[in-house]
Amino acid sequence: MSVTTTPVGQVNPVLRAAPAPPAEAAAYFRASLAFHTDVSDVAGALAADGDPGFVLVDCRSTESWDQGHVPGARHLPTALIPERAGELLDPAVPVVTYCWGPACNGATRAALALAELGYPVKEMLGGFEYWVREGFEFETWQGTERRAADPLTAPVDAADCGC
């Protein structure tokens, strides 16, 4: 495979490192889906009739939880996971963690702590920020709210973005 160059002879930054062979890429992306889910998929599963098959865990502080959280989520700050997970979570039920948003790795740290305790776990990409930006309902200490979807982040049909 040749590396594409720009007109001035410099290496195209997108292809500076050649793409992995298709079989390796498939294994990587398959593994990524085993570790991550997204806001729209979580919202769709929670909105469907019946048990979604997972427990959603907000791993942020109490102050952050009070500002807003996903309806139905359980509050378990990352620092309290070792001492409280056993009383709040069933080890046979998969857990999906979330924190503020893409710039925060709190959900990753929470997922690691839960995995080390033996829980099956995934991380919700986008966190609470994208939950709100995609226009889904959320709860605060004052009640339920919903903001208009951000047209730059929300799919036309939030339950099915077509991907």
Residue 12 pLDDT? 82
- Sequence length of the chain is 163
Residue 127 belongs to domain spanning: 36-145
- The stretch 122-128 carries a mean pLDDT of 97
Residues 118 and 91 sit within 8 Å (Cβ to Cβ): yes
Assigned domain for 62 exists = yes
Number of domains in the chain: 1
Exposure letters 130-152 (e unless 16+ CB within 10 A, then b): bbbbbbbebbeeeeeeeeebeee
Task: Indicate whether 1 belongs to any domain.
Answer: no
> Is residue 151 included in any domain, yes or no?
no
- Give the integer Cα–Cα distance in Å for 136 and 21: 38
pLDDT digit string (tens) for 104-120?
999 999 999 999 999 99
- Indicate whether 159 belongs to any domain: no
Predicted confidence (pLDDT) per residue in 31-90, tens digit: 999 999 999 999 999 999 889 999 999 999 999 999 999 999 999 999 999 999 999 999
Look at residue 26 and tell me if it is in a domain: no
The pLDDT value recorded for residue 11 is 77
Structure confidence at residue 5 as a pLDDT band (50, 70, 90): low
Q: What is the mean pLDDT of the chain?
A: 91
- State the DSSP string of 106-126: HHHHHHHHHHHTT--EEEEET
Token pair 């593994």: residue: 31
CATH no. for residue 120? 3.40.250.10
User: Does residue 153 fall inside a structural domain?
Assistant: no
pTM of the model: 0.86
The model's confidence at residue 8, banded by pLDDT at 50, 70 and 90, is: low
58 in a structural domain: yes
pLDDT at 157: 60
CA pair distance 145, 132, nearest whole angstrom? 9
